[in-house]
């Protein structure tokens, strides 16, 4: 492919898409012997660059994420062209800038689904899930083996009339995906958090989360 035809994107997105391309080229059809990599993508938006313990924040404590940064690679120079959550999400799914994928705010992107990373991986035998925030037009649930999209406030209503914090809901649904997935197939789960995103003019966003201000399920973040 010529350099003029390649999607324009940021360094982190390029590396992620390079990994997807490697999987797609190496696994024309998934077999038990090949054992391709499983993928869990944790995606959160609308937080400051320093909202991590490992980034030196004086208040926020994120020991689990700090461990991932310590044991893996942490990128410290990454930029976006359009600081809108829906646009950035479209860029992640397509590997393209806003000018190319066509989502200027919160609309569906123009890029064919077959060219997104969930579309490519599913076409190559992956069990594909999307859990949490979407905000790119109508949620294309039929494109996922498991698709659960939520929006609204940080506190979500439950069928029994109680409420659950959306991060606890993220965790519960993600664990169900991992527990119930077919064991004979590789999987890709995109877990999209939005409690980091401000709820403009809603004071309930400042309510303390369960378990004394730690992760809602009682675990460190």
pLDDT in tens, 33-43: 668 899 999 99
* Structural domain includes residue 211: no
Structural domains counted in the chain? 1
* Structural domain includes residue 10: yes
| Lowest mean per-residue pLDDT among 42-46, 91-95, 195-199, 212-216 | 212-216
* Structural domain includes residue 94: yes
**Structural domain harbouring 116:** 3-25+38-197
* Stated pTM of the model: 0.79
* Structural domain includes residue 173: yes
How far, in Å, CA of 27 to CA of 175, rounded?
Answer: 26
* Structural domain includes residue 53: yes
* Structural domain includes residue 206: no
Mean pLDDT of all residues in the chain? 82
Tell me what pLDDT residue 208 has.
74
pLDDT in tens, 121-152: 999 999 999 999 998 999 999 999 999 998 88
| Lowest mean per-residue pLDDT among 3-7, 25-29, 113-117, 163-167 | 3-7
* Structural domain includes residue 217: no
Catalytic site positions = 85, 135
Domain at 117, CATH number:
3.40.720.10
* Structural domain includes residue 158: yes
Q: What is the 3-state secondary structure (H, E, C) of the chain?
A: CCHHHCCCCCHHHHHHHHHHHHHHHHCCCCCCCCCCCCEEEEEECCCCCCCCHHHCCCCCCCHHHHHHHHHCCCCCCCCCCCCCHHHHHHHHHHCCCHHHHCCCCCCCCCCCHHHCHHHHHHHCCCEEEEEECCCCCCCCHHHCCEEEECCCCCEEECCCCCEEEHHHHHHHHHHHHHHHCCCCCCEEEEEEECCCCCCCCCHHHHCCCCCCCCCCCCCCC
């Amino acid at each position: 492919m010529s350099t003029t035809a390649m999607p324009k994107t940021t360094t982190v997105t390029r590396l992620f898409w390079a990994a997807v391309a490697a999987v797609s080229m190496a696994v024309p059809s998934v077999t038990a012997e090949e054992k391709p990599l499983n993928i869990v993508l944790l995606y959160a938006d609308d937080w400051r660059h320093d909202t991590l313990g490992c980034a030196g924040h004086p208040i926020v404590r994120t020991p689990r994420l700090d461990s991932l940064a310590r044991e893996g690679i942490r990128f410290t120079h990454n930029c976006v062209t359009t600081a809108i959550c829906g646009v950035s999400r479209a860029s992640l799914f397509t590997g393209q800038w806003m000018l190319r994928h066509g989502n200027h705010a919160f609309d569906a992107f123009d890029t064919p689904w077959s060219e997104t990373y969930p579309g490519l991986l599913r076409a190559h035998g992956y069990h594909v899930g999307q859990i949490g925030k979407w905000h790119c037009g109508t949620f294309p649930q039929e494109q996922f083996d498991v698709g659960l999209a939520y929006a609204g406030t940080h506190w979500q209503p439950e069928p029994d009339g109680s409420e659950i914090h959306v991060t606890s809901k993220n965790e519960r649904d993600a664990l169900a995906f991992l527990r119930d997935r077919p064991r004979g197939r590789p999987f890709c789960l995109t877990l999209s958090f939005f409690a980091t995103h401000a709820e403009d003019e809603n004071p309930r966003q400042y309510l303390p989360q369960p378990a004394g201000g730690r992760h809602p399920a009682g675990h460190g973040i």
